[in-house]
Amino acid sequence: MNTQFVLALGREAIILTLMVSAPMLAFGLTVGLIISLFQAVTQIHEMTLTFIPKIIAVATALLVFLPWMINLLVDFTTRIFESIPGLVA
């Protein structure tokens, strides 16, 4: 195992983490922005108004993108396990 392999593996793991979390973060950000605009226009500044729609949006994104996220994680894990014999030798 050399440093180049470890750096490439770490880089791939960070990119995978960003890809897996991006749909939920994007949905939460979009809903938060829409609610913030609504609150600015109507001057209703209730803090609890943002929580429920954001939770629903993130849960919906999780349900929609879960098969894709699991597929990415399983592929990454499989590639790591398949590379173990090459690392030992």
Give the whole-angstrom CA distance, residue 55 versus residue 18. 20
Q: Give per-residue pLDDT as tens, 23-70.
A: 999 999 999 999 989 988 988 877 778 889 999 999 999 999 999 999
User: Is the entire prediction scored with pTM above 0.85?
Assistant: no
Query: What is the end-to-end Cα distance of the chain in Å, rounded?
Result: 9
Q: Please report the pLDDT score of residue 89 as a whole number.
A: 64
Which residues lie below 8 Å from residue 57, measured CB to CB, with a gap of 6+?
A: 27, 28, 30, 31
85 — pLDDT class (breaks 50, 70, 90): confident
Mean pLDDT of 69-76: 96
Mean pLDDT of 7-18: 95
